[in-house]
């Protein structure tokens, strides 16, 4: 017998689970499909390797879903300051004091208690999946994957790899960068593979959790520090990110724990606290990808299924949550108006909001990537001057901070127009 629902969401990751929870709480019948079993956060002292910098805008959305308190009961770490600095050493570096090639964003400058929170993905996922599965009308299908997708007069039938059919008015692809739903819907992507990869490591250091996260830029890529929770032995945990060429990261992963910590301590800025233990490490490739369209024939994409960006500022998951919130709002309005959830005008409106916003963030991250990943003396001097100037123009700093926090939805018009005038997507089609 075919299960009939309003919306089929494929992908029970953070974005898919958030959308399922929001729709389920709003009275929709939802099928939530994922090949992985539900999350089971065990709360060990060592943190999950995967963490995200959740913006203030994301916090507001998760509070509306009723999951923020559950996340706080597990653990999350607020940060009040964010520092960006150019750590490239070059003969021209002597023209400026080292401290001037840096800008620091402080939540107190915009009257906020914090800029955001560093949260383990396992914590966010546990809270969102629990909320989704406790919402009326949400049915979970775990341990299965999409096998076929067929259009009907009323919507679509998704057949799972165990042979089970599910019929829904709308199918949502929230199944990540390698989205099976996107492929079944025939939606192509533009993709650009970066030369760098990212190594992430959970490390312990002496002292209480810090209230600052920072990124130090090098020609081979940035090195970042993200504070996490206090450890059981009285120290604190942090997540470190080291962007570099695959060969360099491969050598780092082959070091024993003591050798790895020594290499990190030597390569990172002096601001890095003294490291006392390694909790785990791993690496992943970096790519920018954008779907050619966000919806097609009753299928709509959210999160990484629609777009992936360079993770320099940790904005990827925040963009995904913005997708989920925007789509949820439009589906609720469609029901109030008596329209089909797959109505083209509704989905066009969703794409018209989200595609430009996502593209602006993609371009902004690429500007940082290309401007800082080189040793060219003129660019080295220009970016140091730019960081120094940014640190001395309070209004500009506050505006950028509010945008990154998700408080303001748009960049200042001059900057937004400048980004839109940059060359288009230099990406191959897949």
Coil, helix or strand for 174? coil
Instruction: Supply the pLDDT for residue 19.
Output: 98
- Give domain limits for the chain: 3-44+122-192+288-375, 77-117+195-286
Q: What confidence score (pLDDT) does residue 399 get?
A: 52
Give the helix/strand (H/E) hosting 79: strand 77-79
Contacts of 90 (CB under 8 A, 6+ apart): 375, 377, 380
E strand residue ranges, 115-269: 116-120, 138-142, 146-151, 156-160, 165-173, 189-205, 212-217, 223-230, 236-244
Task: Render 357-421 in DSSP notation, one character per residue.
Answer: HHHHHHHHHHHHHHHHSS--HHHHHHHHHHHHHHTT-HHHHHHHHHHHTTSSSS--HHHHHHHHT
The CATH architecture annotation of domain 3-44+122-192+288-375 reads 3-Layer(bba) Sandwich (3.50)
Is the distance from CB of 44 to CB of 228 less than 8 angstroms? no
Question: Hey, what CATH topology would domain 77-117+195-286 get?
Answer: D-Amino Acid Oxidase; Chain A, domain 2 (3.30.9)
Predicted confidence pLDDT, tens digits, the chain (430 residues): 688 999 999 999 999 999 999 999 999 999 999 999 998 888 888 899 999 999 888 999 999 999 999 999 999 999 999 888 877 665 555 555 544 467 888 888 888 899 899 999 999 999 999 999 999 999 999 999 999 999 988 899 999 999 999 999 999 999 999 999 999 999 999 998 888 899 999 999 999 999 999 988 888 888 999 999 999 988 999 999 999 999 999 999 999 999 999 999 999 999 999 999 999 999 998 888 999 999 999 999 999 999 998 776 567 899 999 999 999 999 999 999 999 999 999 999 999 999 998 998 888 777 666 655 545 444 444 444 444 444 444 444 455 544 454 545 555 555 555 555 555 444 333 3
Q: What is the pLDDT of residue 311?
A: 72
d(CA 133, CA 128): 9
3-class SS of residue 424: coil
Which residues, 6 or more positions from 165, have their beta carbon under 8 angstroms from its beta carbon? 2, 3, 157, 158, 159
Distances from the Cα of 215 to the Cαs of 37, 46, 70, 81, in angstroms? 35, 23, 29, 12
Q: What pLDDT score was predicted for residue 424?
A: 46
């Amino acid at each position: 017998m075919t299960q009939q629902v309003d919306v089929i969401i494929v992908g029970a990751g953070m974005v898919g689970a958030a959308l399922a929870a929001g729709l389920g709480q709003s009275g929709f019948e939802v099928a939530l499909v994922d090949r992985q079993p539900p999350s089971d956060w065990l709360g060990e002292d060592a943190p999950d390797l995967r963490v995200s910098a959740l913006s203030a805008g994301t916090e507001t959305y998760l509070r509306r879903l009723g999951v923020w308190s559950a996340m706080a009961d597990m653990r999350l770490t607020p940060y009040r300051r964010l520092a960006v600095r150019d750590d490239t050493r070059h003969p021209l570096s002597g023209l400026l004091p080292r401290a001037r090639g840096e800008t620091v964003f402080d939540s107190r400058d915009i009257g906020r208690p914090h800029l955001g929170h560093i949260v383990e993905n396992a914590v966010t996922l546990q809270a969102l999946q629990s909320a989704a599965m406790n919402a009326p009308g949400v049915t979970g299908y775990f341990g299965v994957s999409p096998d076929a997708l067929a259009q009907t007069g009323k919507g679509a039938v998704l057949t799972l790899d165990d042979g089970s059919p599910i019929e829904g008015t709308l199918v949502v692809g929230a199944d990540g960068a390698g989205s099976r739903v996107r492929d079944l819907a025939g939606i192509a992507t533009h993709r650009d593979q970066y030369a760098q990869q990212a190594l992430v490591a959970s490390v312990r250091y002496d002292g209480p959790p810090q209230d600052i996260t920072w990124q130090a830029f090098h020609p081979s890529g940035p090195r970042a520090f993200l504070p996490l929770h206090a450890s059981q032995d009285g120290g604190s945990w942090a997540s470190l990110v080291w962007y570099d060429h695959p060969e360099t990261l491969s050598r780092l992963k082959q070091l024993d724990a003591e050798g790895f910590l020594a290499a990190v301590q030597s390569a990172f800025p002096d601001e890095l606290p003294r490291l006392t233990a390694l909790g785990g490490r791993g690496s992943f490739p970096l790519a920018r990808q954008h779907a050619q369209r966000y919806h097609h024939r009753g299928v709509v994409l959210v999160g990484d299924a629609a777009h992936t960006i360079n993770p320099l500022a940790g904005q990827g998951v925040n963009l995904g949550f913005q997708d989920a919130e925007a789509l949820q709002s439009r589906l609720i309005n469609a029901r109030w108006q008596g329209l089909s959830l797959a109505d083209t005008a509704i989905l066009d409106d969703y794409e018209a909001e989200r595609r430009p916003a996502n593209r602006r963030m993609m371009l902004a991250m690429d500007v940082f990537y290309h401007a800082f990943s080189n040793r060219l003396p003129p660019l080295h001097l220009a970016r140091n001057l730019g960081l120094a100037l940014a640190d001395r123009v309070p209004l500009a700093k506050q505006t950028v901070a509010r945008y990154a926090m998700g408080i303001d939805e748009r960049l200042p018009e001059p900057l937004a127009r400048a980004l839109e005038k940059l060359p288009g997507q230099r990406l191959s089609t897949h």
